Amino acid sequence: IITWNCNMAFRKKVDQILQYEPDILIIPECEHPDKLKFNRVPTGVIWYGDNPNKGLGVFSYGDYNLQLLPVHDPNLKTIPVVDVRTPAEFAQGHIVGAHNIAIFSNEERVQVGTTYKQQGREPAILLGFDLTGSKWSGFIKQALEIAPGKKIALHCWRGGDAQRSYGMGA
């Protein structure tokens, strides 16, 4: 699998990347496939975008099949990402364009993690709710400022409890 942001004009650069014989090629800022000429013709193509000069191209070679899943939402690109990790975790690295609405402060995360290790999952969850209970109104207000349409994509490194909790509060 190769991904390469070719900075547009992929038609002029396609041979440079095909020399590596990818099974799957993902090209941001790719022209519509009608504009492309391949020496090695892909077996599958998905292209998505509003601008015929700058979309997302996904090309497969060999026995790989590509298809958009039924859950594909063409409006997803307009849904903001809310990163619910601590400010320190967010500062260390985050999805470009994401908004940080931290469920826990850096110190609270340490408390919950220590409780989880020493006492188990349920006491850690209860402590988490105790620490955040009074903050939920603020979380919701911040999320509504970011997404008046009331749709957000949540990101949390651990994925499970924090996102489920946020969904319960929203």
Residue with tokens 């489920």: 164
DSSP-assigned letters across all residues of 91-160: HH---TT-EE--SS-HHHHHHHHHHHHHH-HHHHHHHHHHHHGGGHHHHHHHHHHH-TTS--EEE-SS-S
Q: Are 11 and 35 in contact (CB under 8 A)?
A: yes
- Which of these is catalytic: 89, 156, 165, 166? 156
Q: Give Cβ neighbours of residue 18 (< 8 Å, ≥ 6 apart).
A: 25, 38, 39, 40
Q: Are 22 and 44 in contact (CB under 8 A)?
A: no
Using CA atoms, how far residue 111 sits from 38, 83, 116, 134, 151, in Å, is 56, 20, 9, 17, 30
Establish whether 30 is a catalytic residue. Answer: no
DSSP, res 27: E
Catalytic residues: 156
